[in-house]
Amino acid sequence: MRRAVCPGSFDPVTNGHLDIVGRASLMFDEIVVAVLINQSKAGLFTVDERLEMLATVTKPYTNVRVDAFQGLLVDFCRAHDVTAIIKGVRVAGDFDYELQMAQMNYGLSGIETLFMPTNPKYSFISSSLIKEVAKWGGDVSPHVPDLVAKRLQERFAAARK
């Protein structure tokens, strides 16, 4: 079985992430969307909330499952028999950082990283930008799944009270 991982913070998942996951799911037997548990950075959503949103929005892809990991990504890959790491690249700036991580991960484990160019429709979308816009009441609904738009609205409405 050829299994690949799509790792990230997914705080929250965007249409850009979903596009990469969907395209990757056509190339591998199984895709694991792996959410980083980052003890030193609290997100807007808890890891459990992110996993729940991811599980819901990836439901149409029958060979995609979601999981969380702590520590090194390559250790997660070894433990889960993952052959490749898939990374979306939006702009040239992404590539510089991603290349360093890919080379480090290859050196640590021999696991390959495959870069997938983001669909240009999504190249300006990031979870950070989405949170910034949603925080001030901007409409993010074209850029995230409906469920995520709803959760963002609820989270920031609760914060304004």
Does 17 participate in catalysis according to the annotation? yes
Structural contact between residues 5 and 80, judged by C-beta atoms closer than 8 angstroms: yes
Range 11-25 burial, b when 16+ CB lie within 10 A, else e: bbbbbbbbbbbebbb
Structural contact between residues 156 and 68, judged by C-beta atoms closer than 8 angstroms: no
**CB of 25 or CB of 88, closer to ligand PNS:** 88
Residue 72 interacting with ligand PNS (CB under 6 A): yes
- The residue from 68, 89, 99, 104 that contacts ligand PNS (CB under 6 A) is 104
Q: Determine the interface stretch with ligand PNS among 25-33, 42-50, 97-105, 151-159 (rule: CB under 6 A).
A: 97-105
What does 74-138 look like in DSSP terms, one character per residue?
HHHHHHTT--EEEEEE-SHHHHHHHHHHHHHHHHHH--EEEEEEPPGGGTT--HHHHHHHHHTT-
Question: Which of 3, 23, 80, 90 is flagged as catalytic?
Answer: 90
Does 78 participate in catalysis according to the annotation? no
Question: Which of 41, 59, 160, 161 is flagged as catalytic?
Answer: 41
How long a stretch of residues is the chain? 161
- The residue from 89, 101, 114, 147 that contacts ligand PNS (CB under 6 A) is 101
Does 160 participate in catalysis according to the annotation? no
Residue 73 interacting with ligand PNS (CB under 6 A): yes
Q: How many residues bind ligand PNS (CB under 6 A)?
A: 9
User: Which residues lie near ligand PNS (CB under 6 A)?
Assistant: 7-9, 36, 72-73, 101, 104-105
